[in-house]
Amino acid sequence: MKKVISFLLLGTMLCFFTSSCFHQPVQLEPMPDPSRDMATTIIVFTAVAITATALTVLLSKYKPVLLTPEGKNVKLVMHEEAPEEAEYIGDIQTKVVIDLISIKNDLRNKAARIGGNLVVVDTFQSEIDRGRTWGYSGSGRVYYLDRNIKKN
């Protein structure tokens, strides 16, 4: 829906820009009267609006992932393996997110959705394009660990 609104806003601004600027004769006076010269105002307004629309679309794609109530019950471990008594459920992978906390939250939320309560993190990696980091992604293995089993 945000994309549709953004495209409608962009189209409206483009129509406004073309009808306002290109249908007026260009005046090459040494010092034009600012009260009569609306073309500059329209150009600046259009540039600001297009920039704001582009940023809105870009930033709406990369929202932080919040931890769900179910995800709070999932334990996340790194640099170690699951206990022997844990039952393997499957592998999961995060979407591209903006920070490392969102990777952890996304892994825990996905593990809870498929019935796990333990995630062994395999990788965290940067998503790099043209030398810039645009986000992060991660993967892990989901296990179910019966918390009632006592260790010897």
Residue 102's domain comprises 71-144
Residues of the chain with pLDDT > 90: what percent? 36
Same domain, 57 and 78: no
The model's pLDDT over 117-135, given as tens digits with 9 standing for 90+, comes to 999 999 999 888 888 887 8
Same domain, 132 and 93: yes
State the pTM of this model.
Answer: 0.59
Same domain, 83 and 24: no
Same domain, 47 and 87: no
In a domain, 151, yes or no: no
pLDDT band at 152 (very low <50, low <70, confident <90, very high): very low
Domain count, the chain: 2
Same domain, 85 and 122: yes
In a domain, 152, yes or no: no
Three state DSSP letters for the chain: CHHHHHHHHHHHHHHHHHHHHCCCCCCCCCCCCCCCCHHHHHHHHHHHHHHHHHHHHHHHHCCCCCCCCCHHHCEEECCCCCCCCCEEEEEEECCCECCHHHHHHHHHHHHHHCCCCEEEEEEEEEEEECCEEEEEEEEEEEEECCCCCCCC
Same domain, 76 and 136: yes
Same domain, 57 and 114: no
